[in-house]
Amino acid sequence: MSVGINLTKMENITVKGELLFELESKQQWINRVPQILPEKTRGGEQWIWVDKNGNVFECGLDFKIAEEEATYPCKVYRLESVAVANERYR
């Protein structure tokens, strides 16, 4: 019986987004979020939380590890959808 190993190659990607704010530490995340979060401008709006290495934050553990590994700041972006980027079609 052979066991397959998934060697997925991670790619760097480029997306368009508006910088909303930056967090310098896990403690800032604890103290400032959710009060600092802006209101969403549209229903399907998405935000992405990114460390200095381009990795994303998904849960509290990510904030803890980012502090241990010194990958702050955490930048939070509002992603731009295709429709918003091409509003002339509305």
Q: Which two tokens stand for residue 20?
A: 């909303």
Of 9 and 1, more confident: 9
Per-residue pLDDT at 1: 54
Domain borders along the chain are 17-89
At 22-71, the pLDDT tens digits run: 999 999 999 999 999 998 888 889 999 999 999 999 999 999 999 999 99
pTM: 0.82
pLDDT band at 87 (very low <50, low <70, confident <90, very high): confident
Q: Is the Cβ–Cβ distance between 56 and 49 less than 8 Å?
A: yes
Judged against a pLDDT cut of 80, whether residue 88 lies above it is answered with: no
